[in-house]
Every structure is written in structure tokens, then in C-alpha cells.
Amino acid sequence: MMIRHDNGRAVWFTSSLFDNVRSYPQLVDNSVDKHGTDHGKTLQKVEIKHGFSTKHGGISHLPYISDLNFGFSVGEDRATTVENYRCFARTLGIGENHMLCANQTHTTRVLTVDEAYRGMGLSVPYETFPDKTLADEGFDGFATRTPDVALVVRAADCVPILFCDPVNRVIGACHAGWRGTVGGIAAETVDAMCAIGAEKQHIRAAIGHAVGLCCYEVDDAFYETFLHTLGKEVCNVIFRKSEEYENPDRWHCDLRTCNRMLLENAGLAPEHIDVSEHCTCCHNELFHSHRYAMKYTGGKRGLMAACISMETIK
Ligand SMILES: [Zn+2]
């Protein structure tokens, strides 16, 4: 992951996996119009735009959420939060009205979207969509093959993951907290992408900053759940007890590594998976962290965003 700065204010991260695959021309069939006139095929170029936000680069002004928050239920007025999305879109070079947000509820549900979903969760409420479960049950992953549809997931310690198959021009995004991680949301997102034309050998995944092994203490029931579901091979790698920890007899868990392993098991090439090395809790000056907030700010914190879009080049 590469850290980016903009005028010394906005700070975000990008993955070089996506930077190396900028533009993919594709013949788009926009042939027959309503009068029956055949316009043939045109060459459409898109550019992969993406980024993982920090807590800097917006217009928030509540002390515990720094100046950039993407959460709608953290005590900030909605207009300010919405403006933060616009700031982030501008920073990434994404159209301001292209974004749509997952209604995250720690499911393993992945929604395939197109241009009809633009603005969802921002200017367009979930309730207005025909599929009522979007509002009621929520979903934590996205897939699309439509250009100018910017997928947004939010996190503050949970793992945000962005996906792109540059060859078949399919993108995805998911939010993997511990429930989503053990439930397999990352692989579910890959499957949803493949259902609309992606191929596993071409999919690249960027796993963003999240709470690290260092700071993610869990209880025995948590460990048992992972062991029961994912098996010893994965758990031997992602769980650790250590004298270095505040409570040496308690397990610590590495959710980012877990998602990396699960994506490899799902068929992604190891060299196509980029993993952030930053712990959100250790670097709370840069990131929103739920764990840090529970310890030091009475749980008050904002949310960060991760976004990916195939933006058309005019
Ligand atoms: Zn840490």
C-alpha cells in the first residue's frame, strides 16, 4: 500500500496492484437506438480509481472524528458527512454522484449493482429499492461490471477489501469484520464477480488497514468459532498468544492475514493480493479505530471508507 497526500490535508492509501492496470479499452455495443439505427461499436476506456481513506481530508469538526468521517450515526450532521463523501470522490478522481454505500450488517451477502444503484445509501435511501432486504437485512459486499459505479464500504478496525479483474473489467468491494471474515464474505465477493464475467486468475485484491494482531484481543469462544469453521491450518497462522501482550493468556487474531489466506484458498494468486501493514488501533492519529475508541474516547469515533470505481475516460 502507498500513502498519498493531497495539499498536505487529505491522506489516503492506494494499492500498486491497481495502479499498474490503469486503462482497458473495451468495445461497447451501443448499436441500435429506438429508431432502429445501427451506430456500431465504440471503444470505451476506463481507468481504475480507488483508495482507502484515513481520518484526514474532509470537513468534519467534531474532535473525536478528526476532519473526515463517513459514518451516518456517529453524532455528525448528515450534510457534513455527505460532503465528506464528495471530498473523497474528488480526491480519488471519481464522479461525485457515482458513489453508493453498502448497508453493512456483518452479513456475507454480496449485491451485484449497476447504474440504477448510484447514490444508494447517500442521496437514495435503501428503502426505495425493490429488494426490501437491502434496507432490512443489509449486505456487506458489492460486485459490478458497470463503469462509473463507485463501490464504497466503511470500517473502523474491520477489514475493507477492494477487488478488480482488469481483464474482464469487473470490480468488487467488501466489509469483513470478524463475522464476515469467518463467514467467508471475501470469497463470496469473488464468486459474485465471477458470476458476472470475472475470472479468478485475473482478480486482484487489496486488503486495507484494519486492527492488527497486536491490538485485536479476542476470547476463547471467538477462537473456537474460527477453529470450528476454518480449521487448524488457518488458525495456527492467524492466532497468537504472547508474553508481549497485555494479557498473555488471551488470544490475539489477525483478520487481514485470515482474509488473505481465505482469498488464496478461493483461488486468487498470492501475487495478486496486497495487504496493508497498518494497524488502525496503533496508528489512531491517522485512522479511526473502534478498539482505541472503546478504551480512550468512550466509544466515540468516526468511520473510514474504501472505494473503487471504473471511471470512463472521455
Ligand atoms: Zn496495533
> Ligand 1 center to residue 210 CA distance, Å?
9
Average pLDDT over residues 70-95: 96
CA 158 / ligand 1 centre spacing (Å): 13
CA of 184 to the centre of ligand 1 (A): 24
Among residues 210, 248, 218, 211, the alpha carbon closest in space to that of 235 is found at 218
CA 294 / ligand 1 centre spacing (Å): 14
What pLDDT is stored for residue 240 in this prediction? Answer: 98
Q: Give the Å distance between the CA of 87 and the centre of ligand 1.
A: 28
DSSP line for 45-107: -EEEEEEEE-S-SS----GGGTT----SSSS--HHHHHHHHHHHHHHHT--TT-EEE----S-
**What domains lie within the chain, and their CATH numbers?**
44-211+271-312 (3.60.140.10)
The confidence score (pLDDT) of residue 6 equals 85
User: What is the percent of the chain with per-residue pLDDT over 70, rounded to a whole number?
Assistant: 92
User: For residue 25, what pLDDT is reported?
Assistant: 61
Inter-residue contact 286 to 55 (CB < 8 Å):
yes
**Residues 21-45, mean pLDDT to the nearest whole number:** 62
Tell me how long the chain is. Answer: 314
Confidence check: pLDDT of 56 > 60: yes
Cα distance between residue 134 and residue 246, in whole Å:
40
Cα of 211 vs centre of ligand 1, distance in Å, is 6
Could you list which residues have their CB under 5 Å from ion ligand 1? 212, 214-215, 279, 281-282
Specify the pLDDT at position 44.
77
| Percentage of the chain exceeding pLDDT 90 | 86
Whole-angstrom distance, CA of residue 162 vs CA of residue 274: 10
Spacing, Cα 212 to ligand 1 middle (Å): 5
The SS3 of residue 158 is coil
pLDDT for 22: 56
- How high is the pLDDT of residue 64? 87
Count of beta carbons in the 10 Å neighbourhood of residue 211? 29
Q: Separation of 296 CA from ligand 1 center, angstroms?
A: 15
From the CA of 50, how far away is ligand 1's center (Å)? 25
The three grid cell numbers given for residue 37, joined into one nine-digit string = 439505427
Report which residue type is found at 206: A
Average pLDDT over residues 113-134: 95
Return mean pLDDT, the chain: 93
Cα(1) to centroid of ligand 1, in Å?
Answer: 17
What's the 214 CA to ligand 1 centre distance in angstroms?
A: 4
